[in-house]
Structure 1
Amino acid sequence: MPRSPATSADVVVIGGGVAGLLVAHRCAATGDSVLLLEAGERVGGRCLSLDAGGIRVDLGAAWHWAEHTRVPRVLDRFSLARIRQYEPGVAVFESGRNRPVEHVDWPSTPPPSWRIEGGTQALIDAVADVIPDGTVHCGMRVDRIRQAGPDGIRVEGTGSEGPFSVEAARCACAVPPRLVAHTIDIRPLPSGVKDALRHTPTWMSHSLKAGVVYDRPFWREDGWSGRVRSLVGPIHDWHDATPPASLASGGRSRGAGGLFGFGPPLQQGVSMDDFRKRIVEQLVHCYGPAARDPVAVRVQDWSRAPRTTPSAGSACRVDEPTAVPALSREYWNGRLHFVAAETACDHPGFLDGAIEAAQRWEEQTSATASAAA
């Protein structure tokens, strides 16, 4: 992707996750010139997929539920399909590493959930593909946002070719609020907004996800669901990530299978290589010798991801994100907006929240334009 942005645009978008990409797509579709500045070397944010064996396993955002009505609408818009999370079969309960695992019938009553076929990366790819060339610039770390006269905003930072400065009429900041508070100097801002940015936890910044790919989903062949609940870890919850294309009629395997799961962040002194070995050992304990030779094992510790979690860490661990009204408002006479998933009024932190935040940008900027007309 291009690394040297233009020096001016109608809109500057900061952050290339789901919300940032959707805002950039909408701006370009309505005729605005737009620049998207992403500090990392890829777009997608917390949408990250492990590609191995011809399948994708999500290491970041993965699921949506029935109440997340915006996700299927966006998937339809980009001609993407979704997969019902596989749950039936026998689950594994691991109470201790030196104890035999227990096999239990997994109840068929959990709320249905879905994943995106091809992983959440499929959504990222689909949106990025329809954004005009020259819009997205990776490796561009934004350090400052300032008002520039009565009608403009100036965004400054550092890229691979040195400092940059871009002036625009509007700015959509799609960076997690707490990361904004610790890495981007925005002035002036009301003290209440600064506090909201600083104290809004970043969803997934206190967690770790792992993905393991095998040449076939052997657990399904044996009647297991792929669901593991462990009291000892290193991964406490495993789920099946096998795509329908890997299964023939009757559940027989015809392609690679995957598992993905959640655990606490890496402990100090534990190397990634050792952690991956522990993951395989855990799956062998749960599933036997068939789990000994995976095609790929990958771990994403979001607590150590500098484009997600500041060096100060997450504000706190949360079980459910909470809407923060101050972050869903527009500032500087409609020129500055915060549009990360955590700023959503509905389902903040989730995929649906990221989509809502992008839609809110569209609604607010449309209303501002109508008022000015």
Structure 2
Amino acid sequence: MKTHDVIIVGGGLSGLSLAYYLEQNAINYKLLEGRSRLGGRVFTITKNGFPFEMGATWFGEKHKRLMALVKDLKIGYKPQVNGEKALVDQRPFGSVGFINIPSSEETTYKFTKGSFSLIEALSEKIPALKIQLNCKVNSIKQQSEYIEVNSDSESFCAKQVIVCLPPNLSQSINFQPALKTSFKNTLHQTHTWMGNSVKIAIAYENDFWSNDGFTGTIFSNQQSIQELYQHYNKSGYGLVGFINQKFNNLSVINLKEKAIKQLVEYFGEAAKDYKEISILNWHNERLTTSKHNQNLIPHQTNGAKSLREPEWKNNLWFGASETAKENPGYMNGAVVRAEELAKLLLKKIKA
């Protein structure tokens, strides 16, 4: 087995950002990803030129490290246009009506060509030989001189191992020797951002819903669509948002039917004439989340200091977004943690 300075487990935004920073500093590393694609919870499905955002979508000026990375990579982004008012559906406990959106609301942004353009830009900076897809890690073993990382088909070894999987999901790996009980409990109780979410994106020929300051922003606590926002590019118009989590157990077909029925109630028969519709239930993504995640409070234990403390004599680290001190559980948190780990590793390796 060839020995690397660093093995990164997980090719989501945190793992890929870490690889990008290590590449800039000529560190010998290998990135292992269980899926056939990179990006993890950053996932855009492009159909007929229209980006259907199935994962992380929005960010803001306060996300300074992410913004700096986006600018360094020269990735296009634009403001999210929410309009002057939102449609709020309070049924069955109230009515359907409009509320004004405060003009002082902080501007949020989204990527011009979809969030996955960030993943593509990062991966283009990393040699293909340093990334291995379809490589789900099942055990990590501490040996006398190195750490052994094993998948079903191959083994790797490194001086340092960074696990960039969501902490709760990291329990699927067999660590030898076992992690401290207190640390395992923290991993178990750390909520996975996006793990409970069901994303929906619908493309239309035109924005028939726009009217008098309303651009498609919808909120509802009880109906199938919980949040919805306008999304558009040169290829057409769309609405992107979240399904209410109480409908998580419905099939994609049933969710589509309920969502379109809800939009018909708001906008009439034009809502039936969609070009494409995509729904992704992250609850079913076993390489992102675990069943236990459904029992946790959103962002529970995210950012806990213990998640950033190394194990195995400072040779095993955890680096997903949920471990970040700043904005844990968001895209910015993933970049913040990657930068922090890159500095620690660079200092340790070159000491």
TM-score if structure 2 supplies the norm length? 0.92
Spell out the pairing of 1:137-176 with structure 2 (5 A cutoff). 137-150=132-145, 152-158=146-152, 163-176=153-166
Match of residue 78, structure 2, among 65, 79, 83: 83
1:326 partnered with 2:306: yes
Partner AA of 1:95 in structure 2:
Q
Match of residue 94, structure 1, among 45, 65, 89: 89
Q: What do the CA deviations read for 1:152-183 (whole angstroms, capped 9, x no partner)?
A: 1100121xxxx2111112111110000002x1
Instruction: Say if 2:6 and 2:30, in contact at 8 Å, map to a contact too.
Output: yes
Partner AA of 1:122 in structure 2:
S
1:361 partnered with 2:351: no
Shift of 1:98: 12
Query: What is the alpha-carbon distance in structure 2 between the residues aligned to residue 51 and residue 60 of structure 1?
Result: 13
Name 2:102's counterpart in structure 1.
107
Q: What do the CA deviations read for 1:219-263 (whole angstroms, capped 9, x no partner)?
A: 3366422101124321111111224xx3xxxxxxxx401211112
Match of residue 301, structure 1, among 271, 281, 302: 281
Match of residue 317, structure 1, among 297, 304, 316: 297
Mean Cα deviation higher: 187-196 or 13-22:
187-196
Query: What is the alpha-carbon distance in structure 1 between the residues aligned to residue 309 and residue 47 of structure 2?
Result: 41
Q: 1:180 to 1:43 in 2, by over 3 A?
A: same
Q: 1:320 to 1:66 in 2, by over 3 A?
A: farther
Name 2:33's counterpart in structure 1.
38
Name 2:319's counterpart in structure 1.
339
Query: What is the alpha-carbon distance in structure 2 between the residues aligned to residue 131 and residue 315 of structure 1?
Result: 37
Instruction: Say if 2:192 and 2:293, in contact at 8 Å, map to a contact too.
Output: no
Q: What do the CA deviations read for 1:88-109 (whole angstroms, capped 9, x no partner)?
A: 2442222338998424443323
Name 1:273's counterpart in structure 2.
253
Name 1:234's counterpart in structure 2.
224
**Residue 355 of structure 1 aligns to a residue in which SS?**
helix
Match of residue 187, structure 1, among 164, 176, 181: 176
Instruction: Say if 1:59 and 1:299, in contact at 8 Å, map to a contact too.
Output: yes
Instruction: Say if 1:148 and 1:167, in contact at 8 Å, map to a contact too.
Output: no
Partner AA of 1:326 in structure 2:
S
Query: What is the alpha-carbon distance in structure 2 between the residues aligned to residue 42 and residue 12 of structure 1?
Result: 18
Q: Give % identity.
A: 26
Query: What is the alpha-carbon distance in structure 2 between the residues aligned to residue 358 and residue 298 of structure 1?
Result: 31
1:123 partnered with 2:118: yes
Name 1:196's counterpart in structure 2.
186
Q: 1:347 to 1:99 in 2, by over 3 A?
A: closer
Instruction: Say if 1:83 and 1:115, in contact at 8 Å, map to a contact too.
Output: yes
Q: What do the CA deviations read for 1:61-100 (whole angstroms, capped 9, x no partner)?
A: 1111232111110001110122111122442222338998
Name 2:55's counterpart in structure 1.
60
Structure 1 runs not aligned, ≥5 long: 1-5, 247-254
Query: What is the alpha-carbon distance in structure 1 between the residues aligned to residue 34 and residue 236 of structure 2?
Result: 33
Name 1:252's counterpart in structure 2.
none
Query: What is the alpha-carbon distance in structure 1 between the residues aligned to residue 295 and residue 32 of structure 2?
Result: 25
Query: What is the alpha-carbon distance in structure 2 between the residues aligned to residue 48 and residue 184 of structure 1?
Result: 24
Query: What is the alpha-carbon distance in structure 2 between the residues aligned to residue 154 and residue 337 of structure 1?
Result: 14
Instruction: Say if 1:239 and 1:261, in contact at 8 Å, map to a contact too.
Output: yes
Mean Cα deviation higher: 292-301 or 336-345:
292-301
Shift of 1:332: 2.6
Q: 1:99 to 1:325 in 2, by over 3 A?
A: closer
Mean Cα deviation higher: 116-125 or 22-31:
22-31
Partner AA of 1:169 in structure 2:
K
Structure 2 runs not aligned, ≥5 long: none
Instruction: Say if 1:148 and 1:154, in contact at 8 Å, map to a contact too.
Output: yes
TM-score if structure 1 supplies the norm length? 0.87
Q: What do the CA deviations read for 1:260-297 (whole angstroms, capped 9, x no partner)?
A: 11123364763211211211111121222222111111
Name 1:213's counterpart in structure 2.
203
